[in-house]
Amino acid sequence: MSFTYFLKRAAFAALALAALMTSAFFLVRLTGDPVNLYLPVDASDAAREAMRIRLGLDRSLLAQFFDWAWDILSLDFGMSLWHNRPAMDVVLEALPNTLALGAIALALAFTAAIVMGSIAAVNAGGWIDRGVNVLSQAAASVPDFWLGLMGVLLFAVTFRILPTSGFGGPIYWVLPVACLFARPFGTLVQIVRGSMIEALNATFVRTARAKGARDGRVTFVHALRNALLPAVTVTGDLAAQFAGGGGVVEVVFGFPGIGKLLIDGILKRDFAIVQASIFAVAVVIFVINILVDMLYASIDPRVRVE
């Protein structure tokens, strides 16, 4: 990957980020006036006006935007009303939890999908293939929130072997990881299976077999290397989705990630938290896209990025 390509991608990302943050600034203010949420109903008009002045909400929306945009250039997202701390500090505490949760779920899904998809492709048309198809389609179709609620009902309430929610040791990660694992696994199995069937019927595979290569080497070296390319592309898209946090899953399990923080920030009209969260997620997605491009090029030497 050339440095020129990186600069081009960074320039486009900066433009997209500017447009995204501008939209976020105006849209988040449609959630309502935070003064009405943080002050009691019987608060005096003087108290309300004092709070608006303290938050800078007494000025025109355009004046607020230009002040906010100037602060953003120095990565100053302001103070969180909810936490009474710099908003970006709060976001940077939650972001690693989401990245770790997504990375674990996606790594498990990718690994399991390669194995299951390859087995299904080798046995295409057989009962193993049909069973894998049913399993993967069910996993890809099940809603995250339903899977989470059923997991809590079965493993936390009925059998009491896992906690219902919270954050701590590995046991607290089991249900959130399982919920985030399902849909990527189902999607990737279908992709790996289709790509493997196509690769196993390719000319280079038939040539390798004609030269006496063993079936295992043909399947997991020659065919799988080519079949991985579509899976890597889709995995990059899934990773970008996970960067935003499995908002519903994090809320269901009370997991302190960026998705839950963003949803709570919207509900609490904490503009600084929402804007800082969106900025952090957008930057992570840009980095993920660059890493996927690099991985794609390393798998297929024919890929050259100008």
pLDDT single digits (tens) 11-51 = 888 899 999 999 999 999 888 889 888 888 888 888 888 98
Residue 306's pLDDT band (boundaries 50, 70, 90)?
very low
The Cα–Cα gap between 174 and 167 comes to: 11
User: Domain map of the chain by residue range?
Assistant: 87-299
The matching CATH number, chosen from 3.40.50.2300, 3.40.47.10, 1.10.3720.10, 3.40.50.300, for 87-299 is 1.10.3720.10
- CA end-to-end distance (rounded Å), the chain: 7
User: Distance (Å, rounded) from C-alpha 102 to C-alpha 238?
Assistant: 9
Buried b (16+ CB within 10 A) or exposed e, 48-87: eeebeeebebeeeeeebeeebeeebeeeebbbbbbbeebb
Residue 86's DSSP bridge partners are 79
Q: Which two tokens stand for residue 91?
A: 């976001």
Query: In this model, does residue 244 exceed pLDDT 70?
Result: no
pLDDT of residue 258: 92
Helix count and strand count (H, E) for the chain: 14, 0
